[in-house]
Amino acid sequence: MTIIELLTETAASIEKSGIESARCEAELMLSHVLGQKRSHWHFKSAEEVLLPVELRLRALLAERLRRVPLQHLLGSTSFCGLEIQVDHRVLIPRPETETLAECAWTFAKQLPAPSILDIGTGSGCIAIAIAKHVSVAKICAMDASSSALAVAEGNVRLHQFENRIRLVRGDFSEGLPAEHFDLIVSNPPYIPTGEIASLQPEVRIHDPRLALDGGEDGLAAFRHLAKRAFPKPSNRTTLMMEMGDGQGNAVAEILQSAGWTVERLVSDLAGCERIIIANALAS
């Protein structure tokens, strides 16, 4: 079987299962088993595929048809142009979260030596993206899951930010690290509990429940953060959080009730209000 024949067959199987972007996924899987970028094998598509390569691709395909996320099968994903290792222990970074990371590093670049807290860091993708763009930033990345922190540690090490990103274990509802932070950033769980069962199997089965479940109305984490993240006296803090579709007004009310001043809402590339930015100056 030639490369192009194997690619076509794989894409057809993926498309038949109802998974979107079948051709793209097939190309990524083929690149993975070949150990080559598409640009390397594309012009050799008429060549025969070695049997071990074909068998590895078929094994990957079988898992993908069981709706195991492609990112888990490949072992990594791209976030803000950076390779981020992922598996079942962490939420797979979404494209909309890149908007949050960009807002964070754009703000942090204006500060001489920013101190940043990333709450619910998961894979560490946001902290790593900020560190990549703001060379003077010191970042504390926190997560309630020790398993997630193990993944984050691997990614921090992969990008050689061990001296700038500190990993700590902690929860939204508990006390935050004692020091002052100029910027607090978070992609909290914001899906209402009752809606999780209706999500795609890649999400509801393979993403950690802890990273998805935002309580009955999806706003539990925002209530905790609004109170816990408020700065100590005489300190100014900026808070940036990702939120779900249609949650903007509710999250803004939660923040304002806790003493925050909402600066603005930022839309993602799809035009949905996705990021809320607020400021607080404790008296």
| Residue-range domains of the chain with CATH | 3-66 (1.10.8), 82-281 (3.40.50.150)
User: pLDDT tens digits, the chain, 283 residues: what are they?
Assistant: 898 899 999 999 999 999 999 999 999 999 999 888 877 777 677 888 889 999 999 999 999 999 999 999 999 999 999 999 999 999 999 999 999 999 999 999 999 999 999 999 999 999 999 999 999 999 999 999 999 999 999 999 999 999 999 999 998 777 788 889 999 999 999 999 999 999 999 999 999 999 999 999 999 999 999 998 888 766 789 999 999 999 999 999 999 999 999 999 999 988 999 999 999 876 5
Which pLDDT score is estimated for 283?
Answer: 55
Closest CA relative to residue 2, chosen from 37, 24, 34: 34
How far apart are alpha carbons 251 and 98 in whole angstroms?
20
Which pLDDT score is estimated for 54?
Answer: 93
Which pLDDT score is estimated for 282?
Answer: 61
Which pLDDT score is estimated for 46?
Answer: 80
How many angstroms separate the Cα of 283 from the Cα of each of 49, 101, 252, 259?
A: 68, 29, 21, 11
How far apart are alpha carbons 37 and 58 in whole angstroms?
19
Closest CA relative to residue 172, chosen from 220, 129, 237: 220
Cβ neighbors of 99 (< 8 A, separation 6 or more) are 242, 266, 267, 268, 269, 274, 275
Which pLDDT score is estimated for 47?
Answer: 84
Buried b (16+ CB within 10 A) or exposed e, 5-25: ebbebbbebbeeeebeebeeb
Does residue 190 contact residue 223 with C-beta atoms inside 8 Å? no
Does residue 172 contact residue 144 with C-beta atoms inside 8 Å? yes
Beta strands 236-242 and 273-281, pairing class? antiparallel
Closest CA relative to residue 97, chosen from 144, 74, 130: 130
Both structure tokens of 194: 């009752």
Closest CA relative to residue 180, chosen from 243, 131, 111: 111
Which pLDDT score is estimated for 35?
Answer: 87
Q: What are phi and psi of 177, to 5 degrees?
A: -50, 145
